[in-house]
Structure 1
Amino acid sequence: MAWRSSGRTNTALVENLWSNGLIRSPLVKAAFLSVDRAHYAPASPYEDSPQSIGHAATISAPHMHAAAVEALLEYVTEGVKERPRRVLDIGSGSGYLTQVLAELVGEGGVVVGVEHIPELKEMGERNMGKSAEGRALLDSGRCRFRVGDGRKGWAEPAPAAGQPAVGGAADSKAGDKNNEGGWDAIHVGAAAVELHEELVKQLRAPGRMFIPVGETDGWDQYIWTVNKDKDGNVKKQRGFGVRYVPLTDPPKGKRVQEEL
């Protein structure tokens, strides 16, 4: 089913993901319909397959993005809790999923995309700027791109003046359920060799993480969901097998170049 969801338009792709049961929530469907994948995928944007975006990175297949958003939905959508949503997208790559998540967090929330390669961070911003909706998300501060080592999570500074209602500061106490920082949801878009405890610590209580974990040079990778309940208790669950590019150090020396 996952590989049969391709369409000739963005709407057709999303409708196929919906009819195949890969998108289940009307909220998720609306978010996917609002973000044109052609602004993010360099070729054949409406195929349900991963594609290279350069720098040894890919934009994941739409069905994998759908699986991630469905898994995190409870912790992403506005109105579930009194405090604004805070979502971290590690390995944001093209910026596609970052915008989809930003469509769901609501006006008071914030989504931060983290990339270890500056060129990919810039690509995400550039791609999001191709639509009026994307530009509005960037201008409001509701969606932000940063350069850093996602394996260590991220501490986002307090909003600039003029963005007082968006997000908040994340600090070393990010895992404290009473802290205003931390993350309600963390999405990791590359395979980690281990389930990094620093990311677990930065989950709010309650919160959820979606992360592929496993050997990066083989097929032994699985999606893990990590749930932290309101009391801070953590439960880790292994899910289905996947194949992701590795979550690694950025390339050293000169820039990595690939044909798109």
Structure 2
Amino acid sequence: MPNIMVSDETRECVRAAMVAIPRADFLPDAVRHLADSDRPVHIGWDATNSQPSTVARMLDLLAAQRGDRVLDVGSGSGWTTAILARIVGPSGTVIGVERVPELVQFGRERLEATDVDACIEAATAGVLGLPASAPFDRILVSADFERMPDDLVSQLAEQGRMVAPIGGLMTVVDRLDGRVRSRTDAGLYSFVPLRDD
């Protein structure tokens, strides 16, 4: 299984956004000292803030552009939501969705404190993503599925892309000409399982 190619321009854009949005600003005080470590950090409520190298790879694969409409599923503390907002710029829109009420509140507070123009919505039990707000140009998923999340795929716009861990494999799903194509990237990843209850 080969690595999916990513342009230098995309990679540079992602790295610049990650530098501009420090991880420490999106961690609870008790674990903020772990911000520079390349590992997942537990942030409470059975959730983690993903390790930076994994976040960078997922964002590389997502290849969000200026002006895109992006959905961040499992937004957690809001760090990836904020990075995405930096990437898409003021002409774009980023909406995070999170099932844990405490994390919805924490993420919203962190976005406000860091003056990031994005929002986080509370997930509806039994509903994946935000179908009422679809379609999205890009969908980032930070929780593992056991199978292809068709409900999320249906929220992709034409020429849209989703990046999600599925069964431990980082999967890129593209919608083009009404057809859906999926590819997996090299390497195994570990994420908390997606829950929609």
TM range (shorter): 0.7 to 0.9
1:71 to 61, 66, 69: 61
Residues 48-81 of structure 1 show CA distances to partners (whole Å, capped at 9, x for unaligned) of: 11000100000000001101111111xx211xxx
Say which one has the larger Rg.
1
1:52 pairs with 2:42: yes
2:18 to 32, 37, 41: 32
Separation in structure 2 between the aligned mates of residue 249 and residue 206 of structure 1, nearest angstrom: 26
1:117 corresponds in structure 2 to: 100
1:8 corresponds in structure 2 to: none
2:169 corresponds in structure 1 to: 222
Separation in structure 2 between the aligned mates of residue 249 and residue 71 of structure 1, nearest angstrom: 24
SS of equivalent to 1:152: coil
SS of equivalent to 1:102: helix
Instruction: Measure how far apart 1:151 and its partner are.
Output: 5.5
Gaps of 5+ in 2: 1-8
1:1-260 matches, cutoff 5 A: 25-41=11-27, 42-43=31-32, 44-73=34-63, 76-78=64-66, 84-131=67-114, 133-134=115-116, 137=117, 143-149=118-124, 152-155=128-131, 170=133, 181-214=134-167, 221-229=168-176, 231-239=177-185, 240-250=187-197
Percent identity, aligned pairs only, is 33
Greater relative contact order (Cα 8 A, min sep 6): structure 1 or 2? Answer: 2
TM-score (norm 1): 0.66
Separation in structure 1 between the aligned mates of residue 196 and residue 130 of structure 2, nearest angstrom: 16
Question: Which structure features the higher share of strand residues?
Answer: 2
2:4 corresponds in structure 1 to: none
Separation in structure 2 between the aligned mates of residue 144 and residue 36 of structure 1, nearest angstrom: 18
Instruction: Measure how far apart 1:100 and its partner are.
Output: 0.2
Instruction: Measure how far apart 1:24 and its partner are.
Output: 6.5
Residues 171-219 of structure 1 show CA distances to partners (whole Å, capped at 9, x for unaligned) of: xxxxxxxxxx4011101001112211111111111011111112xxxxx
1:254 corresponds in structure 2 to: none
SS of equivalent to 2:103: helix
Separation in structure 1 between the aligned mates of residue 21 and residue 174 of structure 2, nearest angstrom: 28
SS of equivalent to 2:90: coil
Separation in structure 2 between the aligned mates of residue 208 and residue 249 of structure 1, nearest angstrom: 21
Residues 122-142 of structure 1 show CA distances to partners (whole Å, capped at 9, x for unaligned) of: 1111122332x32xx1xxxxx
